[in-house]
């Protein structure tokens, strides 16, 4: 996604992009809206044994079984109870549908690409640096732009399938 963004900015200059913003442990994150298929409420999740700890299980999304990943666990944040604001963001990551559990989905925002700054060299939270595509620093808020494709780098995908 990062490369895609770069290409865009080179071609069009500071084009507006839309991000879905969501909260995790009181921090705000953003994801390109084109990645997001749908946002659903929590469902019954079936646990799948012998998977990495951040794989919560699978759900039935209208007849299709898709894996669900807890972003809190993925980013080594504290576990939290699911409440009525908890959402599953269903996204297409490297050609496969996947659900990501987030604390709350807030809004869709438009930003200019010029506002995206490279991620700071040291990341204080557990968010792995490589899946940060950038930081958006607006007057009253700080948004971390995520690149989930990177989160499932080839290496990780392999581990994912052959059990960590």
Partner 1 sequence: MSIDCEDQELLEGFLAETTELLEKLDDDLISLEKSPEDSELMNRIFRSIHTVKGASSFLGFDLLVKVTHKTEDVLNRLRKGELTLTSQIMDVILEAVDLVKTLVSDIKSGEIVERELEATIAKLIPFLSENAVEATVLAPLFAPQKEQGAGPEASAPAPQPGGTLQPAAAAPEPAAAVSQSGAAAPEPNPAPTQSAPPPQLKAVQAKEPAKPAASKGDELADNSTVRVDVKRLDDLMNQVGELVLERNRMIQLHSDYQTGLDPAGFGDDFGKLSKRLNFVTSELQMQVLKMRMLPVEKVFKKFPRIVRNLARDLGKEVDLQIIGEETELDRSVVDEIGDPLIHLIRNALDHGLETPDERLAAGKSRCGTVVLSAAHEGNQIVISIKDNGRGIDPERVSRKALEKGLITEEQLALMGSREILDLLFLPGFSTKEQATDLSGRGVGMDVVRTNIRKLNGIIEIKNEVGKGSEFILKLPLTLAIIQSLLVEVEREVYSIPLASVIETMRVNKDEFHMIGGQEVLKLRDSVLPLLRLQRTFNCQESTADRSTCYVVIVGVAEKRLGLVVTRLLGQQEVAIKSLGKFLANLPGIGGSTIMGDGRVALIVDPMGLVGGGESAIVRKSA
Q: Which span sits near partner 1 by CB under 8 A: 12-20, 53-61, 80-88, 114-122?
A: 53-61
Query: Does 163 interact with partner 1 (rule: CB under 8 A)?
Result: yes
Site for partner 1 in 21-50 (CB under 8 A): 44, 46-50
153 DSSP 8-state letter: -
- 157 forms part of the interface with partner 1 (CB under 8 A): yes
Query: For residues 50 and 124, which CB has a smaller minimum distance to partner 1 in the complex?
Result: 50
In the complex, least distance from residue 104 CB atom to partner 1, rounded to whole angstroms: 25
What is the CA 10 to chain-centroid distance, rounded? 25
Using the rule CB under 8 A, is 60 a contact of partner 1? yes
Q: Do 19 and 31 contact (CB within 8 A), yes or no?
A: yes
| Residue 141 sits in the site that holds partner 1 (CB under 8 A) | no
* 3-state DSSP of 85-144: CCEEEEEEECCEEEEEEECEEEEEEEEEHHHEECCCCCCCCCCCHHHEEEEEECCCCEEE
Q: Does 58 bind partner 1 (CB under 8 A)?
A: yes
Q: Please report, as ranges, the residues that interact with partner 1 according to CB under 8 A.
A: 44, 46-51, 55, 57-60, 63-67, 96-98, 152, 157, 160-163
């Amino acid at each position: 996604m990062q490369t895609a963004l770069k290409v865009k900015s080179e071609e069009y200059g500071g084009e507006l992009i839309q991000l879905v913003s969501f909260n995790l442990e009181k921090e705000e994150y953003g994801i390109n809206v084109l990645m997001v298929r749908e946002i659903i409420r929590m469902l019954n999740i079936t646990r799948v044994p012998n998977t990495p700890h951040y794989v919560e299980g699978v759900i039935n999304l209208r007849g299709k079984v898709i894996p669900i990943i807890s972003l809190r666990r993925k980013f080594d944040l504290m576990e939290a109870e699911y409440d009525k604001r908890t959402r599953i963001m269903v996204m297409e990551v490297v050609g496969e549908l996947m659900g990501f559990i987030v604390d709350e989905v807030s809004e869709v925002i438009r930003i200019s690409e010029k506002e995206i700054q490279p991620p700071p060299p040291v990341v204080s939270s557990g968010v792995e640096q490589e899946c940060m595509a950038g930081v958006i620093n607006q007057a009253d808020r700080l948004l971390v732009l995520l690149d989930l494709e990177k989160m499932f780098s080839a290496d990780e995908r392999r581990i994912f399938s052959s059990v960590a």
